[in-house]
Chain A
Amino acid sequence: LASLPSVKMAILKRRRAVGGSPVPRPTASPVSEAELLARSGVRGILREAVLKLLEARPEEPSAFLADYFEKLGQDLAEGAAPHSDHGSYLLGQQRLGRAMWYLRLAHHSQRTAFNNNLSMAYNCLSAGGRKKKPGLNGKSYSEVLRRICREGDLSEDISSVLLKKIQCRDHEAVPFDVFRYGVLTCFVLLEFMSKAEILFRSLDFHEQPDRSLCQAVLGTLEEALVASDISVPASYLEAGSKLGPDCLAVVMDRALLRKDAGVSMTLQEFLQEASALFLHKVKPVL
């Protein structure tokens, strides 16, 4: 007889320890809506989400918010308070996941937002923990780069050339500037590759585009890249004029005239050659 109330007590105690049941108990006086929002902290959560949304200006806001709240939910489930101390007691994989989430939040052309997220990711990765000394090491940095490349479906041979240039050795300490350059370069290369694919499709007016045509267009791009020099502003005009529709039309016409009949180029070859132009300009990390 005495056992029943004690079980009830135990359940009640556990509920209190967990911090309240999901359904709020009816209280004596009815709570106004404003008070409810204030008590639950919803207002702060929503404001944070809207701020992130404004920062990133994504094309599809609802998908962005869904992703945001999903991540927030995961964080709560893992028991880490978001935005409190950048997850100082997160494990390696969780840190990495969190950092990747920050990096994906805004496109790199949203410069302020992207830079903010970069430093959040950097702090998250380099926070000290129980077993980890503070600071970002080359191992986590290279892992972040690898993940960005993998998620962007970058082919293995292109990404390995890129990583060889910008990744660090496992034990090396990575300063923020290097981290920023490495991550940005990965994202920019992914976009470069998607543009190259669209370019290939627009050259492809039969089944497969002509090889000499492809090489002529890429050669023109290479000329422009070599010609443009940041210290000589006029060189950008010159390089830009080379890439105008008129000049490109002439170049393509010339290429078609001396075409080697039937020699075509596959998308893979084209992407490989295009990526080489970009990768050639990547400054290796020393």
Chain B
Amino acid sequence: MDPESVPCTIKLPVPLQVGDVKTDQARPGVYVIDVTFPKSQDVDVSEISFKNYYTAFLTVRIQQQRRPSDPRGNPPAWRTCIKSQRLMPNPHMEDGSQDYVSLRKSQMICGTDHVTAIRLILRQPSPVWLNFTLEDLQINPSGKQSPQKGFSWLLSQLPPKEQLQSLHKGLPDPNKVSSEVQQMWALTEVMKANQSTATIGRFDSGCATQVANERILSRT
């Protein structure tokens, strides 16, 4: 998974079908995939990307966090942000059937801030294909700080040249000091990077601190 994508729960595709699913010979022409975010957090969606698998048309609907102006009581309304996007030029033909697709914010017909749930409606009118779905679905959030912005901030933090020239003459050699301090920093990081997650399974240490804390409390 892309490190930038939001952690989310992607439910299994649910077919929409008239009649009994098991006995009916006709295959479903519509699947619905629901996406939810953990701990009911909301996400500013900037991009939805996936790999197509024989889906001809895609509709995306979103549920947004309730605004203060909204009427109370009713659950937040579903809004359509992508309407019948054509993924395969001809549903009966292979073209576009396994393309990588990325739908950006500019292509969406409504705002996509504070999204709490996403519903993808997949349609395939052609009976030629046994099955259809979307793979590698990823929801990418907006509001990522661009790395260049970070760099320019770092550069602005560096002391200006004039300040460096007006320094005290009797300073220790900054290059030597810096090199030693940096090595000390690196060594500490080596130690931190090697910290083990293994434990020896002490059960009593938590209790011991608690007892100690209680003792301190009772003293004060």
Residues of A within 8 A of B188 (CB): 188, 192, 225, 277-278, 281
Whether A285 and B178, one on each chain, are in contact in the complex, defined by CB atoms closer than 8 angstroms, is: no
Whether A256 and B171, one on each chain, are in contact in the complex, defined by CB atoms closer than 8 angstroms, is: yes
B19 within 8 A of A: no
Q: Check A286/B170 contact, CB under 8 A, given A198-B180, A234-B150.
A: no
Task: For A241, give its contact among B158, B163, B164, B174 (CB under 8 Å).
Answer: B158
A158 within 8 A of B: no
CB proximity of B27 to chain A, nearest CB, Å: 45
A244 within 8 A of B: yes
A256 CA / B172 CA spacing, docked (Å): 11
B198 within 8 A of A: yes
Residues of B within 8 A of A205 (CB): 170, 172
For A235, the closest partner residue in chain B by CB is: B150
Q: Check A248/B178 contact, CB under 8 A, given A181-B195, A234-B147.
A: yes
Number of chain B residues close to chain A: CB under 8 A: 42
Residues of A within 8 A of B178 (CB): 243-245, 248
Within 8 A of A (CB), among B146-168: 147, 150-151, 154, 157-159, 163-164, 167-168
Whether A239 and B185, one on each chain, are in contact in the complex, defined by CB atoms closer than 8 angstroms, is: yes
Within 8 A of B (CB), among A200-248: 202-205, 209, 213, 217, 220-221, 224-225, 228, 230, 234, 237-241, 243-248
Whether A241 and B154, one on each chain, are in contact in the complex, defined by CB atoms closer than 8 angstroms, is: yes
Contact with A along B195-213 (1 / 0, CB 8 A): 1111110100100000000
A192 CA / B173 CA spacing, docked (Å): 20
Within 8 A of B (CB), among A23-39: none
The interface size bin for chain A is 35 or more
Which of B158, B164, B178 has the most chain A CB within a 10 Å cutoff?
B178
Q: Check A228/B191 contact, CB under 8 A, given A178-B196, A286-B205.
A: no
Whether B163 and A250, one on each chain, are in contact in the complex, defined by CB atoms closer than 8 angstroms, is: yes
Within 8 A of B (CB), among A178-209: 178, 180-181, 184-185, 188-189, 191-192, 195-196, 198-199, 202-205, 209
A38 CA / B167 CA spacing, docked (Å): 70
The A-B contact count (CB < 8 A) is 145
Whether A250 and B164, one on each chain, are in contact in the complex, defined by CB atoms closer than 8 angstroms, is: yes
Whether B171 and A252, one on each chain, are in contact in the complex, defined by CB atoms closer than 8 angstroms, is: yes
B193 within 8 A of A: yes
Within 8 A of B (CB), among A267-286: 274, 277-278, 281-283, 285-286
Whether A175 and B181, one on each chain, are in contact in the complex, defined by CB atoms closer than 8 angstroms, is: no
Task: For B177, give its contact among A225, A237, A252, A256 (CB under 8 Å).
Answer: A252
B14 within 8 A of A: no
Whether B174 and A245, one on each chain, are in contact in the complex, defined by CB atoms closer than 8 angstroms, is: yes
CB-defined A-B contacts under 8 Å, sample of 5: A184-B190, A238-B154, A246-B159, A246-B164, A252-B177
List B residues at the A interface (Cβ < 8 Å).
147, 150-151, 154, 157-159, 163-164, 167-168, 170-178, 180-185, 187-200, 202, 205
Please name 15 further chain A to chain B contacts, defined as beta carbons within 8 Å, in addition to the given A250-B159, A278-B191, sorted by A numbering: A172-B200, A177-B198, A181-B196, A204-B172, A205-B172, A209-B172, A217-B177, A225-B188, A243-B182, A250-B164, A252-B172, A253-B167, A256-B170, A283-B195, A286-B199
